[in-house]
Amino acid sequence: MAAALRGFRYLVGRCNKHDFAYVSTRCLASKTQVGFVGLGNMGNPMAKNLLKHGYPVIATDVFPESCKEVQELGAQIVDNPAEVADKADRIITMLPSCPNVMDVYTGPNGILKKVKKGSLLIDSSTIDPAVSKEMASAAEKLGAVFMDAPVSGGVGAATSGKLTFMVGGAEEEFNAAKELLSCMGANVIYCGQVGTGQAAKICNNMLLAIGMIGTSETMNLGIRLGLDPKLLAKILNMSSGRCWSSDTYNPVPGVMEGVPSGNNYQGGFGTQLMTKDLGLAQDTATTTRTPVPLGSLAHQIYRMMCARGYANKDFSSVFQFLREEESQ
């Protein structure tokens, strides 16, 4: 873990060498207005953290009622993304899926209708990297900079400002993005060109899903073979079977405290959301002609779980899905 953290510091450090080359006045004009589009479960606490850090926020959302809380905390609410772009040259967007992102950027009332030259547009939605690239290219034609910066961590991390941002885009703009993202996250990692933030997020979640299903079926098999679940978890965690799902987020009730498996799979990261991310992983794999046999099967298993009533349970409930029904 220490090594991993060192690695992280190195990554961030790497970007500093470009500071000297950074000429935009945007970044220097700290604490000027920041636009925010998308005030849902994640966007709301993120915008609040910007306000907390002293940034004036100009926000909008398709659902007016979503705007109330941040308005009460001092944010200015406008009608649509184009108006946000009219008033702010740094904008963060946090939206549920590709079509929303395309609409917010390139739609009739989209950001790009009124974006100013030199603006910094940061999209924290989790979407197909190909769409991120399209948006970046459309923004570039208007002289603006688009970066993708999807997050890892849920509503809790968004509230406490402990998100991890994986950022793709021009390296010389990374520090400007980091200035804002640091208000909302504990880790801000530069990943490479536009779309690589999405790529990193998608890759992590695909491997996470594989690890979670793998851990669940392994624990289930071990239990049926007569092993005590806590003991099996300990053995795996000392050995080469170790993974985040076995040592940090174990799916078997009673093995670990403070995780959704101990709370009837409430809270955590919903099966439906994981399924969406696995769909994105599958899409990018198909586009890049990459074989992802386990990722693909993981996608299908979560898809079956959604069809069988597990959509809103934490994704570790796959242990429950695979286990024999109690009534049998």
| Interactions with a second copy, residue window 138-157 (CB under 8 A) | 152
Per the CB < 8 A criterion, the answer to whether 213 and 318 are in contact is yes
Nearer to a second copy, 80 or 284 (CB): 284
Nearer to a second copy, 56 or 244 (CB): 244
Provide, rounded to whole angstroms, the least separation between the CB of residue 19 and a second copy.
20
- From 41-49, 73-81, 135-143, 240-248, span contacting a second copy (CB under 8 A): 240-248
Those residues with Cβ within 8 angstroms of residue 36's Cβ, 6 or more apart along the chain or in another chain? 43, 46, 47, 50, 57, 58, 59, 60, 70, 75, 84, 91, 92, 93, 94
Indicate whether 231 belongs to the interface with a second copy (CB under 8 A).
Answer: yes
117 labelled catalytic: no
Instruction: Name residues contacting a second copy, limited to 163-222 (CB under 8 A).
Output: 164, 166, 187, 189, 191-193, 195-196, 199-200, 202-208, 210-211, 213-215, 217-222
Indicate whether 283 belongs to the interface with a second copy (CB under 8 A).
Answer: yes
- From 59-67, 134-142, 173-181, 241-249, span contacting a second copy (CB under 8 A): 241-249
**Which token pair is 23?**
């000429």
Closest CA to 132 of 104, 109, 153, 155: 104
Give how far the C-alpha of residue 176 lies from the chain's centroid of Cα atoms, to the nearest Å. Answer: 19
Largest CA distance in the chain: 68
Give me the torsion for CA of 31, 191, 19, 47, rounded to 10°.
0
Go through the chain and tell me how many residues it has: 328
Nearer to a second copy, 121 or 219 (CB): 219
Query: Which of 68, 87, 116, 201 is an active site residue?
Result: 201
Residue of 59, 78, 301, 317 interacting with a second copy (CB under 8 A): 301
**Rounded to an integer, what distance in angstroms lies between the CA atom of residue 104 and that of residue 93?**
8
Indicate whether 247 belongs to the interface with a second copy (CB under 8 A).
Answer: yes
| Residue positions annotated with a catalytic role | 201
